[in-house]
């Protein structure tokens, strides 16, 4: 059987080349976009007079039949056809004869490839965005229930200052807000129509690219034919966006692993999303968060792989870019299932507020409040106040107590000041609510942050 491009060749390709060269094994995932692009292209060819009405209808109906066959799993994806573009064109030729051969007028596989792949990227950008919003909804639901729930805030994984659990959930949610905006920005940046530029220099047929772009909701056609078939920025943007998203998910997963341990006991993961040990019957392992941590490395690798493919390529199209798709498909699938399962893990986990409160009583979380009291009430420079507070913490450590358990006289003796009212200042809830600056952990500020994010979510869903 003669290749669609085989006119210049006398000999047959080797079987090894057939296997090495073909992308049909993975780019068949793009079949819907390829058929859509062919329909739009055929309509344009009819509009500029390359096809007559009968030919246009035959091509359109033939593409519809191929689409139905693929949906019913009745279509054979043959390695001989190399890629999805030639597979569909070959099938169309078998269906309607020589009329099908007119369809490739004024286009190239080079711009077809970019169109199909860009359509996939843009559509899945939207799918992932929606799942980010769904996950953010769950986080805010949890946050609203826990604006008064005290837990130890940590730096260097050491007890630092008291915060509320809702505040921590809001911090997670803000990460996802940035992720969502990143996906929005890259969608807008890449929403330009590539079809109709030909192999690399345009076409002599007067393609109506503006009308094709409008019909599919693109902002406009791409500006330069050579750049259009050469670049894969749209794929790299998606891989970067997913990498940032998965980095945030990985950090959350790490905290879930820690919090579900006996050392913390802040949460218990549902049995639905936990596994056991093959040898230790008492174990309940946080495998989902651990896998979520690991998945980040997978998507980082896909990003670096495509950057490496692209870094040395001259303009315009090069076959190297056939390596652009599998990593993107993998990262998209990884992001989607990760967002789905993280949402379920969060919505089904048990939150142990009493254990959080008990842990907040360890580690002198209100020591900064003591230093602030010395600054504000005793007019002491902060560095001196810091030194005095450190001595009080050391005294408490020797007694095996938290500074909140020291009495007023003990604190006054070490500070060399009368510290009337200091016990109330050192109260965990007082400390938390004292941090009422914009963005702070005070319950009233946490509620403001939740309200802001809820309005943002509503705007995203309704906008």
Interatomic CA distance for residues 325 and 390, integer angstroms: 57
Interatomic CA distance for residues 162 and 111, integer angstroms: 57
- Strand segments, DSSP code E, in 275-397 are 350-351
Handedness of CA 4, 9, 12, 18 (dihedral sign): negative
Instruction: Name the β-bridge partners of 229.
Output: none
| Active site annotation includes 386 | no
Nearest CA to 42 out of 118, 126, 87, 101 is that of 101
Interatomic CA distance for residues 164 and 357, integer angstroms: 10
* Phi, psi values for residue 333, rounded to 5°: -65, -40
- Tokens standing for residue 88: 């569909």
Asked if residue 51 lies in contact with residue 98, where contact means CB atoms within 8 angstroms, the answer is: no
Active-site entry in 23, 90, 108, 156:
156
Would you tell me how many other CB atoms lie within 10 Å of the CB of residue 256?
A: 23
Asked if residue 29 lies in contact with residue 120, where contact means CB atoms within 8 angstroms, the answer is: yes
Percentages (nearest 5) of helix, strand, coil residues in the chain: 70, 5, 25
Interatomic CA distance for residues 352 and 360, integer angstroms: 13
Which residues, in sequence order, are CB contacts of 427 under 8 Å at separation 6+? 366, 404
Active-site entry in 277, 350, 387, 451:
277
Task: Quote the crossing angle between the two packed helices 165-190 and 443-462, to the nearest 10°.
Answer: 30
| Active site annotation includes 156 | yes
Catalytic residues: 156, 277
């Amino acid at each position: 059987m003669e290749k669609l491009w085989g006119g210049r060749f006398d000999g047959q390709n080797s079987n090894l080349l057939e296997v090495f060269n073909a992308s049909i094994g993975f780019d068949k995932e793009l079949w819907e976009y390829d058929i859509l692009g062919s329909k739009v292209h055929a309509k344009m060819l009819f509009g500029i007079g390359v096809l007559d009405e009968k030919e246009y209808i035959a091509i359109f109906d033939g593409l519809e039949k191929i689409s139905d066959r693929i949906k019913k799993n009745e279509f054979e994806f043959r390695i001989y056809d190399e890629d999805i573009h030639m597979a569909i064109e070959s099938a169309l030729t078998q269906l309607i004869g020589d009329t099908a051969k007119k369809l490739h007028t004024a286009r190239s596989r080079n711009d077809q490839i970019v169109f199909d792949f860009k359509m996939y990227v843009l559509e899945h950008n939207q799918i992932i965005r929606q799942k980010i919003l769904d996950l953010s909804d769950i986080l805010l639901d949890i946050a609203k229930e826990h604006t008064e729930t005290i837990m130890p805030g940590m730096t260097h994984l050491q007890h630092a200052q008291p915060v509320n659990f809702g505040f921590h959930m809001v911090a997670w949610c803000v990460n996802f807000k940035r992720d969502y905006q990143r996906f929005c920005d890259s969608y807008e940046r890449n929403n330009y129509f590539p079809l109709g530029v030909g192999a690399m220099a345009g076409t002599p047929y007067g393609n109506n690219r503006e009308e094709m772009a409008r019909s599919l909701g693109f902002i406009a056609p791409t500006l330069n034919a050579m750049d259009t078939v050469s670049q894969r920025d749209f794929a790299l943007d998606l891989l970067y966006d997913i990498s940032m998203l998965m980095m945030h998910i990985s950090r959350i997963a790490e905290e879930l692993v820690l919090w579900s341990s006996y050392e913390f006991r802040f949460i218990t993961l549902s049995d639905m999303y936990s596994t056991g040990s093959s040898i230790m019957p008492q174990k309940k392992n946080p495998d989902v968060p651990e896998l979520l941590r690991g998945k980040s490395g997978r998507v980082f690798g896909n990003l670096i792989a495509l950057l490496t493919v692209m870094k040395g390529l001259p303009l315009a199209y090069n076959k190297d870019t056939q390596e652009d798709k599998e990593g993107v498909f993998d990262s998209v699938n990884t992001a989607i299932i990760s967002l789905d399962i993280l949402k379920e893990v969060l919505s089904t986990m048990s939150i142990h507020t009493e254990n959080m409160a008990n842990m907040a009583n360890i580690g002198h979380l209100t020591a900064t409040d003591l230093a602030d009291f010395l600054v504000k009430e005793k007019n002491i420079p902060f560095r001196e106040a810091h030194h005095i507070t450190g001595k009080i913490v050391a005294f408490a450590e020797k007694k095996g107590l938290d500074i909140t358990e020291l009495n007023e006289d003990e604190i006054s003796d070490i500070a060399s000041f009368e510290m009337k009212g200091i016990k109330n200042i050192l109260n965990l809830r007082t400390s938390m609510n004292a941090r009422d600056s914009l963005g702070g952990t005070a319950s009233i500020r946490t509620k403001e942050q939740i309200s802001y994010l809820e309005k943002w979510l509503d705007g995203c869903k309704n906008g």
